[in-house]
Amino acid sequence: MENKDIHIAKVIAQEVLKKGGRTFFVGGCVRDEILGIDIKDVDIEVHNIEVEDLVKILESIGDVQKIGSFFGVFNLKGYDIDIAMPRKEKSNGRGHKDFEIFVDPFIGYKEAALRRDFTINSLMKDVLSGEIIDSFNGIEDLNNKIIRHVNDESFCEDPLRVFRGAQFAARFDFEIDEKTKLLSSTMDVSSLAFERVFDELKKALLKSNKPSIFFKSLKDMNQLSYWFKEVEDLIGINQSEIHHPEGDVFTHTMMVLDEAAKLREKAKNKLAFMLAALCHDFGKTVTTELKKGKLTAYGHEVESVTLAKGLLDRLTNKISLKKETLNLIKLHMKPNQMYNNAKKKSMMKLWDDAIHPSDLILLAKADALGRGVKKDYSEIESILNKSLNEYKELMLEPEVVGKDLIELGLKPGVLFSEYIKLGHKLHLSGLSKDEILKHIKADINKKSLV
C-alpha cells in the first residue's frame, strides 16, 4: 500500500500534467526503490511548467510551505515531501551556501540531473507512468555497486560530497569509483559546517552494517586529516600480536566498529555506543610503548577520553551525547578485565559508574570480537549480564534519604550530602538499609564525641 506522500505526489502530478508538465520522483527515493529499501523521504521534481503555475496547483491541494521559493522548493503541510523545480547551481565561494541558484523548469532532464552528486542519485522516475530516465547510467552503477560522481565541475562545488560518497559506500557496501576518489582527494573540506559533516558521520554509524567503509574510503581519498585526525593517527600504531593479531590500532578500530554495528539495535543510546566504538582506543596513539620486548598501552582509556572529547567538540554541540560517549570510553576496559575475578562490590560500582551499563557490556563485546579471530563471547556476556541484573535488583531496594538522617538526629547541612553518598556506597557493597543506618549512626556518635 502506498504511503500518503506518494499518493499526494500522484495528485500533484495529475494537475501538473494538465498544464503540460511532468513530475518525477528524484534522488534517494528512486535509488532506494531499485535497491529494495523502504522509502522514507519522498522528493519530486516538476518540469515544463512555470513556477507560478506550480504554486497555484499546490495551493489548490493544501497549505503550501515555501522552504525555498526563490530556489523553487516547496512543502505541503502535513506531508513529508519536498517539491522542487529544476535548477542550476553555480559556486561563488567556498562554503556550502556560496551558490547562485537559477530556477529553470525547461532546462531538460539531463541537465537537471547534472547537478546531482552521484549517478545513483541522478535517476528520475515519472510519477504517473513509472518511466525511468537514466541520463548517467545510474542503474548500471547500482547493479555494479559503484559510487560514481556525475560531473567533475558540479561535483567539486560542494566538498560535503567527499563525505557523502564515503557514507553511501558504507551504507550500501559499494565501492567508490577510482576517478571519484581522485577528484575527492583534491577537494578542500575545511570550509564545511561541522553539522553537515556530523550528519554524514551519523548516517554511516547508524545506517551501515559496515561503518568501517566510511573511514577506509576517506583514508583512500586522503580526507581523514582535517575532520578525523584522531582516526588517521591510529594508522600504523602497532599492538601486541598476542592480544591483537589483526594488526594496528586502525585495523582493530575498524573491526570493532563493524562488530558494534551488529549490536547497535540493542543499545540504549545507539549513536553514543557507535561513537564510543570509534573512539575507544584513541589513547593508544600516546600511550603505546615497548617495555621488556612487549608492546603496551597502559592507561590508554584515560587518554582516549581526552582525544575523543577533541573530536566530539569539533563535530557536535550535544552535551548529553558527548557525556554518554566519553563515559563508555572511560570504562570500556573494565568489563573484560573484571568479569572473572572482581569482587561483587567492584562490579556493582562499575555498573553504578556507567550511564548505560548494558551498552558498556555491548562495547566490551565488540572490542573483544574485533580482533581478527573467532571468539565465543557468550560465557563472558552471561557473567556480565548476571552481575548487571544483581545491580538492578539491588537498586530496587530502598536507600538512605534525607528523612532517615533527620530521624537519626542530624540537621541538614554539609554532612548531609556526605552521609547520603556514604549510604549509597554502602548500599552498593550489599548492606541492607538498617545496616547502613546503624553504620551512619555510629559514625555520627563518634563525631559528636570528638
Distances (CA, A) of 172 to 35, 37, 120, 165, 198: 9, 10, 11, 11, 19
Q: Which residue has the higher pLDDT, 97 or 409?
A: 409
351 — phi, psi (to 5°)? -65, -35
This prediction has a pTM of: 0.90
Q: Span 321-347, mean pLDDT?
A: 93
Query: Is residue 248 over pLDDT 80?
Result: yes
How high is the pLDDT of residue 62? 92
User: Above 60 in pLDDT, residue 94?
Assistant: no
Write the pLDDT tens digit of every residue in 68-79.
Answer: 556 689 999 999
Taking the C-alpha atoms of residue 42 and residue 207, their distance in angstroms, rounded to an integer, is 18
pLDDT at position 374 is 82
How large is the average pLDDT for residues 279-297? 89
Render the burial of 280-297: b for 16+ CB within 10 Å, e for the rest.
Answer: bbbbbbbbbeeeeeebeb
- In this predicted structure, the answer to whether residue 96 has a pLDDT above a threshold of 70 is no
CA distance 361 to 266: 11
Question: What integer pLDDT is reported at residue 340 of this predicted model?
Answer: 80
> Rounded distance, CA 67 to CA 82, Å?
9
Out of 3.30.460.10, 3.40.50.2300, 1.10.10.10, 1.10.150.110, which CATH number does the structure's domain 1-150 have? 3.30.460.10
> Taking each helix axis from N to C terminus, what angle separates 357-369 and 344-353, rounded to the nearest 10 degrees?
100
Please tell me the distance from the alpha carbon of residue 76 to that of residue 83, in angstroms, as a whole number: 8
449 band by pLDDT with thresholds 50, 70 and 90: low
Query: Of 284 and 415, which is predicted with more confidence?
Result: 284
58-72, 126-140, 372-386: least confidently modelled range:
58-72
pLDDT, residue 1, reads: 40
What pLDDT, in 10s, does the model give residues 192-207? 999 999 999 999 999 9
Residue 205's closest CA among 142, 253, 146, 277?
Answer: 277
- Of 152-156, 332-336, 429-433, the poorest mean pLDDT is in 429-433
Q: Are strands 146-147 and 175-176 parallel, antiparallel or unpaired?
A: parallel
pLDDT digits (tens, 9 = 90+) for 13-52: 999 999 999 999 999 999 999 999 998 889 999 999 999 9
Amino acid 70: pLDDT:
60
Looking at residue 227, what is its pLDDT?
99
Of 79, 151, 83, 82, give the one whose Cα is nearest residue 117: 151
pLDDT for residue 373: 80
- The torsion of the CA quartet 8, 10, 12, 17, rounded to 10 degrees, works out to -170
